[in-house]
């Protein structure tokens, strides 16, 4: 079964009561039991909900996983994964990770006794050098947010097997349409469903997909015990969004390539970060482990003042956090998505005050480029 077919049908049988082709929103807190100890698979909505279950089965199919669990946000999904670790256990993390992930690890989980090392996971030798007896997990973003660096997932998976580590991949930027980490050897995939999976900027959620039954039982236990579940309505919204994921991602990438090529040629742009450009240092790896390059681009205009002038001048593109919606969104990572990362660390990673990130939408690409052009032309 092809990807687009699975996106539309997997986990979504017609409603047996009415024949409705769309999975209903089961907006209920509890389920009546036929008699003591006998029910229809659903007892309480925090534990199970038919709408959420349909989405979880759909996501498992798209990521080639056996199990999937949906959460109230991407951050709650990541929290559940890290709660698999015990006090004093160690996790290696991509140093150029999302600011919210860094904040969770450094400000919430580190004080509780977990240990973290941030390394350039593009370099497998750096990962290996960071492994210690307490290391239990490698958590990577690929491409990274916002510098768009790649980690070789298959190579990282081999290293993790050698040392008995769990490999977790945040696949939010690519979606399962362009990248499927479990097929490359990863143990766990995490998504912010808020982004490309939902695709319409009207829902917040997260998902964990995996194959190991024992790990799945652990995540399921945490999902129920902590209770940070995705609501029935949000589950329905994401299911609705995924039905068009294949066609949206194709248009996102077509527009993304055009915008990246435009930015590379513009005299006001100092540097462009996009794995679909041949000048990207990991272009060959991108072609090997991804089926497309996506629509996330970062570019440097030279200073905070110029970035602010540009961001205040766009008209079609919207200045906002988040990404992956049908509309084009621009943001300033240093003061928005990565404000929680210390200044010196941002500079070391290349998250300069002049860096702008754009999530290229699916509008007519000529209109996107025209808007970027007029905003860039205003820069002194």
- Annotated catalytic residue 98: yes
Residues of the chain with CATH 3.40.640.10: 3-242
Whether the pLDDT of residue 87 is over 90: the answer is yes
Q: Under CATH, which architecture does the 3-242 domain have?
A: 3-Layer(aba) Sandwich (3.40)
- Annotated catalytic residue 274: no
Catalytic residue, candidates 69, 98, 177, 274: 98
Quote the pTM value.
0.96
Per residue in 130-147, pLDDT tens? Answer: 999 999 999 999 999 999
Catalytic residue, candidates 195, 248, 257, 357: 195
Is CATH 3.90.1150.10 correct for 247-377? yes
SS3 content of the chain, % helix, strand, coil (to 5): 40, 15, 45
Residues of the chain with CATH 3.90.1150.10: 247-377
Catalytic residue, candidates 46, 57, 183, 240: 46
What is the average pLDDT value for the chain, to the nearest integer? 96
Catalytic residue, candidates 52, 69, 115, 170: 170
Establish whether the linkage from the previous residue to 146 is cis, with ω within 30° of 0: yes
Taking alpha carbons only, the member of 156, 110, 113, 112 closest to residue 137 is 156
Q: Residue 283 in 3-state DSSP?
A: helix
- Annotated catalytic residue 195: yes
Whether the pLDDT of residue 196 is over 90: the answer is yes
Question: Is the separation of the CB atoms in 169 and 97 below 8 Å?
Answer: no
């Amino acid at each position: 079964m092809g990807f687009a077919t699975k996106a539309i049908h997997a986990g979504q049988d017609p409603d047996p009561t009415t024949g409705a082709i769309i999975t209903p929103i089961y907006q209920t807190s509890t389920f009546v039991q036929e008699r003591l100890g006998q029910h229809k698979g659903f007892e309480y909505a925090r534990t199970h909900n038919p709408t959420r279950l349909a989405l979880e089965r759909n996501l498992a199919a798209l990521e080639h996983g056996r199990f999937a669990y949906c959460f109230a946000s991407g951050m709650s999904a990541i929290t559940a994964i890290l709660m698999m670790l015990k006090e004093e256990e160690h996790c290696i993390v991509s140093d150029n990770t999302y600011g919210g992930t860094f904040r969770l690890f450094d400000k919430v989980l580190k004080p509780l006794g977990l240990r973290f090392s941030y390394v350039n996971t593009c370099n497998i030798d750096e990962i290996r050098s960071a492994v210690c007896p307490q290391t239990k997990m490698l958590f990577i973003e690929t491409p990274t947010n916002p510098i768009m660096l790649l980690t070789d997932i298959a190579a990282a998976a081999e290293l993790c097997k050698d040392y008995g580590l769990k490999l977790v991949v945040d696949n939010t930027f690519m979606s399962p349409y362009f990248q499927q980490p479990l097929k490359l050897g990863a143990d766990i995939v995490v998504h912010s469903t808020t982004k490309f999976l939902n695709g319409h900027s009207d829902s917040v959620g997260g998902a964990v997909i995996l194959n190991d039954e024992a790990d799945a039982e652990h995540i399921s236990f945490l999902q129920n015990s902590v209770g940070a579940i995705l609501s029935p309505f949000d589950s329905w919204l994401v299911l609705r969004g995924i039905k068009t994921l294949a066609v949206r991602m194709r248009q996102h990438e077509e527009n993304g390539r055009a915008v990246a090529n435009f930015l590379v040629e513009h005299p006001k742009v100092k540097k462009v970060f996009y794995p679909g450009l041949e000048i990207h240092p990991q272009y060959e790896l991108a072609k090997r482990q991804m089926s497309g390059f996506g629509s996330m681009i970062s570019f440097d205009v030279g200073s905070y003042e110029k970035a602010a002038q540009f961001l205040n001048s766009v008209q079609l593109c919207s200045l906002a956090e988040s990404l992956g919606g049908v509309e084009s969104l621009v943001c300033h990572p240093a003061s928005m998505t990565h404000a929680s990362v210390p200044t010196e660390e941002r500079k070391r990673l290349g998250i300069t005050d002049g860096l702008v990130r754009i999530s290229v939408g699916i509008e007519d690409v000529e209109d996107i480029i025209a808007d970027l052009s007029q905003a860039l032309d205003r820069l002194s």
